Amino acid sequence: MKTALKLIAMLVLAAAFFQGCATTQQVNKPADVLYKEGEQFFKDGKYELAIEQWKKVRETYQSPELSTKAELNIADAYFLNKDYIEAAAGYEDFRKLHPKHPQADFALYRQAVSYFNQIHSIDTDQTPVKNAQTTFDSYLRLYPEGAQLADAREKSRECRDKQLQYELYVGRFYLKTGAYKAAIGRFEHALKTFSDSTRRDEVLFYLGKAYCEDKQKDKAREVLGRLISEFPTSAFIADAKKTVAEI
């Protein structure tokens, strides 16, 4: 019995020893080997494993060049894995650490897209929209000849439109629930902030309706009159004319 117990103990110790050796070998792998392993995982679509290997590259402190590449690759892997919160943070960290890097513009663009891809419906948290808008605008300002200029400009316009849609959504809610002054404030703010929007006719219509419901008839006529004269083909023309006639 004692002999059997000793044998088991020896086997356990041996297993622990070999496991420790394997762990040490894994930790002590050269940075270039870890980096290449990460590349292979990345090519195979195994993004979490790629991230794990590239994080080890950073932790070795063996090669600043490989560490820099690994940092951007980690953000890319998060992005392709649709982990957009982590991707945005990764790209932001890369830019802070390497503001003059040749791919700093790409990192800023991808950071903006990471925020953009977190956008959902207009009745949810609008923080991703605001973050995307701000970051796209930074890209347009800092890299006026950037490779992603056209897409950044288009997505920036989309963000502005989404912000206006949210203002209209909230304003219509106030209008529907009888909070007319709150609705007026929201629509006036939208009209001023998004003066270049293609939805200005919609804003004017609901602002006129809010003035009308709040018994501010002169202002209602003025606003709806602007809608009728400035947007003769608007989908809101018929309702605007009807409202003016009823005032």
Query: pLDDT band for position 27 (50/70/90)?
Result: low
Least reliable range by pLDDT among 7-11, 160-164, 185-189: 7-11
Q: What is the pLDDT of residue 219?
A: 97
Q: What is the pLDDT of residue 123?
A: 85
- The mean per-residue pLDDT over the stretch 153-181 comes to 97
Domain ranges of the chain: 16-77, 82-165, 178-247
Query: Which one has a higher pLDDT value, 241 or 1?
Result: 241
- The mean per-residue pLDDT over the stretch 9-29 comes to 49
pLDDT digits (tens, 9 = 90+) for 55-97: 999 998 889 999 999 999 999 999 999 999 999 999 999 999 9
State the pTM of this model.
Answer: 0.82
Separation CA 195–CA 178 (nearest Å): 26
Asked if the domains 82-165 and 178-247 are classified in one and the same CATH topology, the answer is yes
Q: What is the pLDDT of residue 62?
A: 85
pLDDT digits (tens, 9 = 90+) for 183-204: 999 999 999 999 889 999 999 9
Query: pLDDT band for position 22 (50/70/90)?
Result: very low
**The CATH number of the domain covering residues in 178-247:** 1.25.40.10
Separation CA 110–CA 152 (nearest Å): 10
Q: What are phi and psi of 195, to 5 degrees?
A: -65, -20
Single-letter amino acid code for the residue at 153: R
Q: What is the pLDDT of residue 174?
A: 98
Q: What is the pLDDT of residue 13?
A: 45
Q: Which CATH number fits domain 82-165: 3.20.20.140, 1.25.10.10, 1.10.10.10, 1.25.40.10?
A: 1.25.40.10
- Cβ–Cβ under 8 Å, residues 48 and 82: no
